[in-house]
Structure 1
Amino acid sequence: MKKALKKLASQLHLWLGISSGLVVFIVALTGSLLVFEDELEPVIDSKFHIAAIHEGKPRLPLDLLTAKVSDAFPNKKLLRVTIEREADRNVIFGLKNGKKEKDILSVAVDPYSGQIASYRIEQDAFFSVVLRLHRYLCLEETGKAITGISCVMFLIIMITGLVMWWPNRKNRKQRFTIKWNAKFKRLNWDLHAILGFYALPFVFVIAITGLVWSYKWVNNIIFMTFDGIPQQKREAPANIQPIDNHKDIFFQKIYTQTNQQLPNPGKIVITLADSDSLSVTVSKADDHAAINNIVNFLYFDKNNGQLIKKRLYAEETKGMKVRRLIYPIHTGSLLGWPTKILAFLTALIAASLPVTGVIIWLGKKKKGNKVARAGAVDSRNVRRKSVVTN
């Protein structure tokens, strides 16, 4: 029974690994980069993110910065404004740049001088490309299906790998220790099997949380489990003031009220609804929270900038609170640097597994071919001896 189980596990591990190996390699490698996106993005594109602070110079009002962007790009509709918590960061304006929702032109404005520091097509930015590779191989819905199926395969591969790795009395010590001074073949096996074993719990959690973005039904399981109903669509409430009378202090008024209502440090994103009848949505991260991805929402009247509604994290449903944990668990940002480093190393190990696995498979295939050739030679020799004898 045990032999049959291990044989089945071996076959599943092999063929699912061959089928999904390249996708797992790409997804894991890009995932390792995305772990440190927040830290690397300002370094990679410093002109876009870092402002030239003038000593003692105050920040200019947001509405003045908005006017600068409108003058520079008069035919582009404003979608959102992003204000980072750090004092040396530019304010980022997201403008509609095409028919699709993802077609965004991002404009970085120095909040101290009012000068446009840089702009870029957001889809062409380095980490935007990395994220699209990670989620759907830059192939839209087709790629999303491929990564989703590959992720499920990878979960099965991990389970079958554990079955194959499971030690007996004779090899127990070997299964927990990497023999660094061994020959390449043995070392490669150890790196695949033993590193895979130690990383398995973390890789499994990262992979299974990744299914939330691949399959809507996985996302709904969270809400059905904790709320008893599927996830409800959230929409900004309607404006109360019927007439537009905000003049030139609209965004600055919203920004000031947001900091008054939510005094904690954190990134602020002001999002304008497509419909003029709906209010402005403002999200602010809580960087004082014990865990990452704690965000509060405020809604302001689009016509006069008055606060209409609050949606605070403390008042969210259990399902939404659990759902908000998925992203920091998946990316390793849950508890800051310690979990980020752990996620980074885990992703690198996951990326290495298809490589070491293919090397093991090629080695076995080569060995099998040698045995087959040796068997063929022996058969020919036997036939020759038989002819001579006769």
Structure 2
Amino acid sequence: MTAKKIIRQLHLWLGLVSGLVVLVVTLSGAVLVFEKELEPLTSPSLYYVQPGAQRLPIDSLKKQAERFNPAMKLVRVEMEPHAANRTMLFFGKEGTVTWMLAVNPYTGAVVRAADFEKRFFRILLNLHRYLLANELGKAVTGVCCLIFLVLVISGIVLWWPRRWKYFRQRIAIKWNGSFKRVVWDLHAVGGFYVHLVIFVIAFTGLTWSYKWFNNGIFLLFDGKPMVAYKAPANKVMQPGGAGFYERVYQQANQELAYKGSMVIQFPPSDSIAVTVTKESYEARITNVVDFIYYEQGTGNLLQKRLYKDQSTGMKVRRAVYPVHTGEIFGWPTKLLALLACLVAASLPVTGLLIWLKGARGSEPKQKVKCKKIVLHTLAEVNAARIK
């Protein structure tokens, strides 16, 4: 058996084993590419309000959220300082349930409350990463992700033409060909055009499947494991007083005076500083986030952890997510990721049809050749009979 036949068998059986998981993961991933754009459209009451004359202080909005469910402990608030028509989203824990409260920043009213884990896109993400089966599902998707990388590489080897004069046949779908030929072309030609993109998406996906891969990013670029960052301890212990979080918000906006989304983390204890993060919408790439830590009570600035000062490993790790989702350079790369995911979702289907129908790209040529041999043999037999 030749090397190419071995690779063909490997490609076939690995594809059959992982096909269903690949189909589920790629289809769910295609929808998740535009999660940030689609969710506000599907749940406008959760994100949009009619702008008012003046926004209420964050401390007042926090109290309103706490009154809505006294059994809940708030952990953070997310906001868009530049968008006057956006709600403030408070997140709180009640046992194992994470609540998401949309608060009107002008009236203080809780306009909507939702179980964070039961939102459509959260369920879809759970399906994408865990197949709705927790750690078992994570193990399955991780293995299938590795298999998919092998399939992409072996697929290119099988696609590669033996002679360059056949190259044009390998980059165009013969729509007027037989069903088998069209199916083979959809699989081989379609896979060829997106193979680099789907390889990168699958490769970066290993970050969430395996700790060794995530740690390897820091070892490769920093030469040492990832440094775990924690909010510093307060130097002075005193009550925050009225308007504390509003002051923190105003100070953070002055320190980070660019357009972007902001998150204020409410400390789990009185001894821990308040963490404020802001993602820049003005950076060349997405997921550029700065951290600032403020002392509880006094509001003194304790520490800055700016993106520009991060290690190379941390910057690469921050880029992994937008590369994986296609968000890295905005709409152009998102559309590219969407197209690649849809083509990748078609590969298990066309691959299964190829196996069931025996469709091979070289098969039509082989049939013609065999037909000529048979006709030539019959002609020789008839000539012998005439003699």
Segments of 5+ residues of structure 1 without an aligned counterpart are 366-390
Give the Cα separation in 2 of the matches to 1:98 and 1:242.
28
Give the Cα separation in 2 of the matches to 1:130 and 1:321.
27
Indicate yes or no: 2:162 matched with 1:168.
Answer: yes
Indicate yes or no: 2:49 matched with 1:65.
Answer: no
The equivalent residue for 1:21 is: 19
One of 40, 46, 49 as aligned partner of 1:48: 46
The equivalent residue for 1:287 is: 281
Secondary structure in 1 matching 2:114: strand
The equivalent residue for 2:203 is: 208
Q: CA deviation at 1:251?
A: 1.4
One of 126, 141, 149 as aligned partner of 2:143: 149
* 1:83-162 mapped onto 2 (5 Å cutoff): 83-84=79-80, 85-99=82-96, 103-162=97-156
The equivalent residue for 2:384 is: none
Give the Cα separation in 1 of the matches to 2:134 and 2:128.
11
The equivalent residue for 1:327 is: 321
Q: CA deviation at 1:183?
A: 3.0
Output the aligned Cα RMSD: 1.3
The equivalent residue for 1:39 is: 37
For residue 33 of structure 2, what is the amino acid of its counterpart? V
Alpha-carbon displacement from aligned partner over 1:143-185 (angstroms, at most 9, x marks no partner): 1110000000000011111111111226322111111233322
The total of aligned residue pairs comes to 357
Segments of 5+ residues of structure 2 without an aligned counterpart are 360-387
Indicate yes or no: 2:265 matched with 1:268.
Answer: no
Secondary structure in 1 matching 2:177: coil
Alpha-carbon displacement from aligned partner over 1:45-72 (angstroms, at most 9, x marks no partner): 1111111223xx1111111111111111
Give the Cα separation in 2 of the matches to 1:131 and 1:97.
22
Indicate yes or no: 2:73 matched with 1:77.
Answer: yes
Q: CA deviation at 1:265?
A: 0.7
The equivalent residue for 1:387 is: none
The equivalent residue for 1:377 is: none
For residue 37 of structure 1, what is the amino acid of its counterpart? E
Give the Cα separation in 2 of the matches to 1:181 and 1:303.
74
TM-score (norm 1): 0.89
Give the Cα separation in 2 of the matches to 1:49 and 1:25.
31
Q: CA deviation at 1:281?
A: 1.1
Indicate yes or no: 2:235 matched with 1:240.
Answer: yes
Q: CA deviation at 1:289?
A: 0.5
The equivalent residue for 1:218 is: 213
Secondary structure in 1 matching 2:251: helix
2:71–2:94: 8 Å Cα contact kept in structure 1?
Answer: no
* 1:304-383 mapped onto 2 (5 Å cutoff): 304-364=298-358
The equivalent residue for 2:175 is: 180
For residue 5 of structure 2, what is the amino acid of its counterpart? K
Give the Cα separation in 1 of the matches to 2:28 and 2:267.
32
